[in-house]
Amino acid sequence: MSKNTLKQVQEFHETYGLPVKDAPDITDAKTNALRINLLAEELEELQEALEAGDMVEVLDALTDLQYVLDGAYLSFGLQTLKTAAFDEVHASNMSKLGEDGKPIRRESDGKVLKGPNYWKPDLSKFLDKKDKAA
């Protein structure tokens, strides 16, 4: 059976001496900068692949983005909160429907907008007071 993405990326981090923190921590400026740079690099690769119409490179860029995101969860000690936080954001996103039960979209690009019953996800409930200050 295949390991989930976080477990696979954790294997990479442990093999190559990259951080896997056991508690939420964003105090290391070098790690923070690396994570931002890696995400920006992969996002740029996605943009280039889309502009080139290269589906293989689009898939590669999306997969690399997920890999780097999972690495960020590990580097920031947030891996145990990923699923719960995702579930909370998903439920919030599903609350964006309009009164008529249909999506409200921005005309210019089709982005789904917040409807009258939208509620903001409460991610703070997954962190204790000490973690929120870090």
pLDDT of residue 47: 98
pLDDT tens across 4-35, in order? 999 999 999 999 999 999 999 999 999 999 99
The answer for residues whose C-beta is within 8 angstroms of residue 27's C-beta and 6 or more apart is: 134
User: Max CA-CA distance within the chain?
Assistant: 52
What single string gives the DSSP state of each residue in 73-115?
A: HHHTT-GGGHHHHHHHHHHHHHTT--TTSS--B-TTT-PBPP-
Domains of the chain: residue spans and CATH:
1-77 (1.10.3420.10), 88-123 (no CATH)
Structure confidence by residue, pLDDT tens digits, 113-122: 999 999 999 9
Report yes or no: 35 and 75 within 8 Å, Cβ to Cβ: yes
pLDDT per position as a tens digit, 35-64: 999 999 999 999 999 999 999 999 999 999
How far apart (Å, rounded) are the C-alpha atoms in residues 63 and 56? 11
Q: Which of the two residues, 126 and 131, has the higher pLDDT score?
A: 126
